[in-house]
């Protein structure tokens, strides 16, 4: 499995995260060993979390949960 690193910024519906959501997200990323950055939005009201996540060069496999054998 060949993996690379890319940076993804996660934003909530309103554009940024509240304090509780940001700390939960940081806690999950810290536990998994990912690199992240926490910063304030330009209006100083919300947090923006940037994280470096590994990804595979191959596209994800489709789920076969709802496929019948005859269709494969």
List average pLDDT for each run of 10 residues in the chain, which is 72 residues long: 49 56 84 85 80 76 75 61
The rounded distance, in Å, linking the Cα atoms of 54 and 9 is 13
Domain residue ranges of the chain, discontinuous segments joined by +:
3-57
Rounded CA-CA distance 27/44 in Å is 21
Q: CA 15, CA 37: separation in Å to the nearest integer? A: 16
Encoded tokens for 72: 């494969």
Which stretches within the chain are classed as H helix?
A: 19-32
Q: How high is the pLDDT of residue 67?
A: 74
At residue 50, the pLDDT reads 82
Distance CA 35, CA 52 (A): 5
């Amino acid at each position: 499995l060949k993996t690379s690193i890319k940076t993804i910024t996660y934003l909530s519906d309103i554009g940024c995260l509240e304090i509780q959501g940001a700390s939960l997200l940081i806690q999950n990323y810290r536990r998994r060993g990912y690199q992240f950055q926490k910063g304030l939005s330009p209006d100083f009201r919300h947090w923006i979390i940037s994280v470096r996540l590994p990804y595979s060069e191959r596209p994800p496999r489709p789920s076969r949960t709802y496929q019948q054998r005859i269709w494969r």
